[in-house]
Amino acid sequence: MLGLFAILACYGAVVVLLHLCYYRIRKQSGFSKRKKSHVVLITHNNQSQIEWYVRSLYFFSSLQGRRIDTTVLDEGSTDDTLQIVERLSRKHSMNIGKSGADGEGVDEFLRLYDQDEVIVVRLQQQEDLTKWMQFQQ
């Protein structure tokens, strides 16, 4: 019984040490001073993909130590895309908006974030998905 307690104590000490080292390195690297990237996802009937996109975006950005803001602009979806995004926004801070089919909401949005790095990904277009892949690297 004493051996089991010693093993658990060593394990706990290692976990605490690793967390302290991680936070120290994170603080020294200037993580909090990094500029945020803003990702705009433009959707239209993407209920089968949107959850994967949002979850992978937040997962990979946290692995890389990248801070992101996310906005989802919907172009009049008739499926459950908006309901899925609203459910995900409870866990991840996201802005949700509606855009016209002609892209008027996107242009308006980009004017607001003129100084920031903004990555616009239209999920309906294959060439925009390459932007997604470049952002993940």
Mean model confidence pLDDT for the chain: 80
**pLDDT tier at 132, thresholds 50, 70, 90:** low
Q: What's the mean pLDDT in 84-96? A: 90
Residue 84 has pLDDT above 90, yes or no: yes
**Structure pTM?**
0.66
Domain 34-136 belongs to what topology? Spore Coat Polysaccharide Biosynthesis Protein SpsA; Chain A (3.90.550)
Q: Residue with structure tokens 């937040």?
A: 58
Residue 31 has pLDDT above 60, yes or no: no
Task: Say what the pLDDT of residue 83 is.
Answer: 92
High-pLDDT (> 70) share of the chain, % = 77
Could you write out the DSSP letters of every residue in the chain? Answer: -HHHHHHHHHHHHHHHHHHHHHHHHHHHTTGGGSPPEEEEEEESS-TTTHHHHHHHHHHHHHHHT--EEEEEEES--SSSHHHHHHHHTTTS-EEEEE--TTSHHHHHHHHHTSSSEEEEEETT-HHHHHHHHHHH-
**Residue ranges per structural domain of the chain:** 1-33, 34-136
